[in-house]
């Protein structure tokens, strides 16, 4: 499993090809969210919800519950759970953990391809322009994971320019926040992981309670 490469053992995870998901298996309030969506989008949405319900069982929870859409289009998880959903054209991944262990999880999966130069100025900070183009998609993915991990706590949007990424050894990176987003501070660091597969890349940021890096 691709996403398993970037997650600690205590985070449960699952993935599937969205083409295998059946939107008719959604709860009525979930189906309403994609009632006007194109079939591809409806299957991607369904894949995330169906995988998440599968993982609820691994956390000792009932799987018979809907997952509404909250502010920012993020999933509204049941009390006591944090999680993240990501999908690209042929892969959907979900990661969940207990709030007793984590305050936020962000994951992202992308096709292993080059990010176009036209998106460089949007995604990269000036100090990141020196990175080779082969790393731009990984940087984009890492920033997506940072945002997803922090959003449940800060409840505000981050721009790509608000976060810098420094790739480190053995599939790890360090993200730095350059905008105040209470309770997170300017200059605060967040550890992340990345994995590059033949067809896909994956990144994650898992905020373990009591384990954030000091500024």
For the chain, domain boundaries: 3-208
User: What pLDDT was estimated at residue 215?
Assistant: 44
Which residues does the chain have with pLDDT short of 70? 211-215
What's the full length of the chain, in residues?
Answer: 215
User: What pLDDT was estimated at residue 116?
Assistant: 83
Tokens 């289009």, residue located: 73
Who's near 1: CB < 8 A, 6+ residues apart?
Answer: 13, 14, 15
Q: What is the pLDDT of residues 116-140, one digit of tens each?
A: 888 888 999 988 988 999 999 999 9
Pairing of strands 200-208, 102-111: antiparallel
User: What pLDDT was estimated at residue 211?
Assistant: 65
Q: What is the pLDDT of residues 184-200, one digit of tens each?
A: 999 999 999 999 999 99
Euclidean distance between CA atoms 212 and 215, whole angstroms: 9
Provide the 10 A C-beta neighbour count for residue 78. 16
Q: What are residue 104's phi and psi, to 5 degrees?
A: 180, 145
User: What pLDDT was estimated at residue 213?
Assistant: 46
| Neighbour-count burial of 199, counting CB atoms closer than 10 A to its CB (0-12 exposed, 13-18 middle, 19+ buried) | exposed
pTM of the full predicted structure?
0.93
Give one DSSP letter per residue of the chain, joined into a string. Answer: -TGGGGS-TTSEEEEE-GGG--GGGS-HHHHHHTTTS-HHHHHHHHHHHHHHHHHHHHTT--S-----B-GGG-B-PPTTEEEEEEEETTEEEEEEEETTTEEEEEEEEEESSPPPGGGHHHH--GGGTTS-GGGHHHHHHHHHHHHHHHHHHH-S---GGGEEEEEETTTEEEEEE-S-BTTB-TT-EEEEEEEE-SSEEEEEEEEETT-PPP-
């Amino acid at each position: 499993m691709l996403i398993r490469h970037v997650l600690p053992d205590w985070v449960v995870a699952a993935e599937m090809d969205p083409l295998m998901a059946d939107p008719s298996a959604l709860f009525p309030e979930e189906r309403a969210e994609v009632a006007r969506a194109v079939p591809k989008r409806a299957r991607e949405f369904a894949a995330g919800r169906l995988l998440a319900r599968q993982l609820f069982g691994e956390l000792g929870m009932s799987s018979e519950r809907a997952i509404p859409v909250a502010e920012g289009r993020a999933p509204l998880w049941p009390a006591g759970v944090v999680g993240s959903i990501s999908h690209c054209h042929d892969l959907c991944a979900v990661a969940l953990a207990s709030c007793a262990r984590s305050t936020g999880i962000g994951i992202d999966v992308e096709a292993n391809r080059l990010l176009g130069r036209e998106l460089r100025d949007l995604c990269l900070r000036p100090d990141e322009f020196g990175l080779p183009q082969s790393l731009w998609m990984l940087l984009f993915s890492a920033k997506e994971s940072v945002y997803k991990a922090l959003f449940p706590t800060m409840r505000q949007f981050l721009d790509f320019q608000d976060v810098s990424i420094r790739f480190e050894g053995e599939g790890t990176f360090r993200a730095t926040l350059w905008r105040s987003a209470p309770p997170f501070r300017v200059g605060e660091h967040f550890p992340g992981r990345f994995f590059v597969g033949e067809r896909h890349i994956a990144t994650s940021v898992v905020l373990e309670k009591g384990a954030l890096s000091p500024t």
